[in-house]
Amino acid sequence: MDENAARARFTRSLKEFWMAYSSQKQAVAGLLILLLVVAVAFLAPYISPYDPNYLGDTLMEAPGRQHLLGTDGMGRDVFSMILHGTRVSLLVGVISALLSGMIGTLVGGISGFFGGTVDAVISEIIDIFLMLPTFFLILIIVAMFGSSMLNVMIVIGLTSWPGNARLMRAQALSLRERTFVIGAKVIGESRGSILFRYIIPNGIFPVIANTTMQVASAILTEAGLSFLGLGDPNVVSWGRLIYDGRAYLTSAWWISTFAGMAIVVTVMGFYLIGDGLNRVLNPKLRDERQ
């Protein structure tokens, strides 16, 4: 009986969330963009007309029937490269954002829940990270340890967690004074159990919205690294395509332009989804909307 009630409550909450989310046109538009990008990433090997690494005979051919978006300076099909680059951008964005979200949630939860000296020390560490020029720090680390895709994802995740930590800390500071948390302390539950059973599950919603936006930031960061020549040279990515095409901007504008448009559309989709989630999950914005 309790299991059925819990399932019914979960279903009702899910329906309420979808109704609130679907009422925002920009959030639905972002979701449609994401679904399109994910579909392209999965279907890239089947819908791309050429191998992205195939060196053709026609160099810098303008967009046409044979090559929909033209070719680059090495004869590779730009359309095929953009399709396959979708996978790299999504992988970098999602994994980096998840790593940032997990670190920020754990650090912020510990800081806000334990308070006192622990909170003071962790808050200072968060402030230090926030003051650091993140992109230049990423440049230094990638230059020192290599520009493999794994290194890029780890570095972006390890340098973008402070924002999530501050959000989770604010949530934990509020939740630790709630009746159900105090009751858990009274009956003898351990601090670790309270943190992972009550604090984090009830305070993670703003972090989810922020992490969605960080996917877009991670995609832009990877593109920036690739544009500066610090991306992984062994993979096809949108940033790498822009980097390769910058030498031909006056004679073959399509090489960099279409890759840049793909980045803009994908980033805009994630920002729209993140804004929609924030409006649905943030109590203040939800009250204003109502």
Q: What's the confidence (pLDDT) of residue 19?
A: 84
Q: Give residue 5's pLDDT band: very low, low, confident or very high (50, 70, 90).
A: low
pTM of the model: 0.84
pLDDT at 282: 67
23-289 placed in CATH 3.30.70.260: no
**What number is the average pLDDT over the span 194-211?**
86
Using the predicted structure, report yes or no on whether residue 105 has a pLDDT greater than 90. Answer: yes
pLDDT of residue 237: 85
Residue 275 near residue 34, CB atoms below 8 Å = no
pLDDT top residue among 151 and 104: 104
pLDDT tens-digit series, residues 245-264: 888 888 888 888 888 999 99
pLDDT reading at 91 higher than 60: yes
Task: Quote the CA–CA distance of 262 and 40 in Å, as a whole number.
Answer: 11
Q: How large is the average pLDDT for residues 31-37?
A: 92
For residue 222, what are the CA distances in angstroms to 37, 45, 50, 113, 166?
17, 22, 25, 34, 24
In percent, how much of the chain has pLDDT > 70? 93
Question: Residue 98 has what pLDDT?
Answer: 92
Per-residue confidence (pLDDT) for residue 266, from 0 to 100 = 92
Q: How many CB atoms lie within 10 A of CB 35?
A: 11
Residues 179, 10: Cα–Cα separation, whole Å: 22
